[in-house]
């Protein structure tokens, strides 16, 4: 097979985009990826973007998953990782085909937003194929804590070096490296 045949393995599944607190702005890689996918990517729509309520976000993920024609891949960033992990733990029944979780925050770290204190670290293992992307210098979570979260979930760890919080401020732009990681993860782990 030629490399271009592998290039967009993730396009075989719809996506549910799960941003962090305050949503992802138009320049964020999540927004740019969603724009590229069009109707095959559904963003969650919680009522509590700025004061996140875990039950509200849980419903928002369920609603977005239900809007997909078939089980989607969750594409989560920051607080969205904790929301997705919580949802997967409660709905680990094939509702999602996979989960690509990027740059989790540590709820016990000083930088964690007070408004999001209802969210905790991942609470248990999931059978849904899951990858956790870890930045070595994330100000919101040490690499050690992130890999511990992955271990709790039973997720594979994808280390991306020093990418801070893998957001607009960290300068990753449309994050083509991340798109390649997502495609590789889907190709290797999802739908097997």
Number of domains the chain is built from: 1
pLDDT at 5: 43
Q: pLDDT tens for residues 64-85? A: 999 999 999 999 999 999 999 9
Are the beta carbons of 145 and 106 closer than 8 angstroms? yes
Find the distance separating the first CA and the last CA of the chain, reported in whole Å: 18
Q: pLDDT tens for residues 125-164? A: 999 999 999 999 999 999 999 999 999 999 999 999 999 9
pLDDT at 192: 58
Q: pLDDT tens for residues 16-48? A: 999 999 999 999 999 999 999 999 999 999 999
Single out the residue of 121, 122, 85, 78 nearest to residue 102, CA to CA. Answer: 78
How many angstroms separate the Cα of 59 from the Cα of each of 17, 125, 187?
Answer: 14, 21, 29
Q: Which domain holds residue 109?
A: 3-189
Q: pLDDT tens for residues 100-129? A: 999 999 999 999 999 999 999 999 999 999
For residue 3, name the pLDDT band (cuts at 50, 70, 90): very low
Question: In this structure, how many other beta carbons lie within 10 angstroms of the beta carbon of residue 80?
Answer: 30
More confident residue, 178 or 9: 178
Single out the residue of 167, 118, 109 nearest to residue 142, CA to CA. Answer: 109
Instruction: Give the CATH number of the domain where residue 70 resides.
Output: 3.40.50.1820
DSSP codes of every residue in 54-72: HHHHHHHHHHHHHTSSSPP
Left if phi > 0, otherwise alpha if psi is -120 to 50, otherwise beta: which for 49? Answer: alpha
Give the global pTM.
0.95
């Amino acid at each position: 097979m030629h490399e271009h045949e592998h290039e967009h393995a993730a396009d075989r599944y719809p996506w549910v985009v799960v941003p962090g607190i305050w949503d992802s702005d138009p320049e964020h890689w999540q927004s740019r990826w969603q724009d590229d996918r069009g109707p095959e990517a559904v963003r969650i729509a919680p009522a509590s973007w700025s004061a996140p309520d875990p039950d509200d976000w849980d419903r928002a993920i369920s609603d977005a998953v239900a809007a997909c024609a078939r089980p989607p891949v969750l594409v989560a960033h920051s607080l969205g990782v904790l929301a997705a992990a919580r949802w997967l733990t409660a709905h680990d029944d094939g509702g999602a085909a996979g989960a690509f979780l990027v740059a989790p925050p540590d709820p016990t770290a000083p930088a964690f937003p007070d408004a999001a204190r209802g969210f905790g670290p991942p609470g248990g293992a999931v059978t849904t194929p899951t990858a956790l992307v870890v930045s070595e210098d994330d100000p919101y979570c040490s690499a050690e804590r992130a890999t511990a979260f992955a271990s709790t979930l039973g997720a594979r760890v994808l280390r991306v070096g020093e990418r801070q919080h893998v957001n607009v401020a960290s300068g990753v732009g449309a994050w083509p490296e991340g798109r390649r990681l997502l495609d590789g993860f889907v190709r290797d782990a999802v739908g097997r």
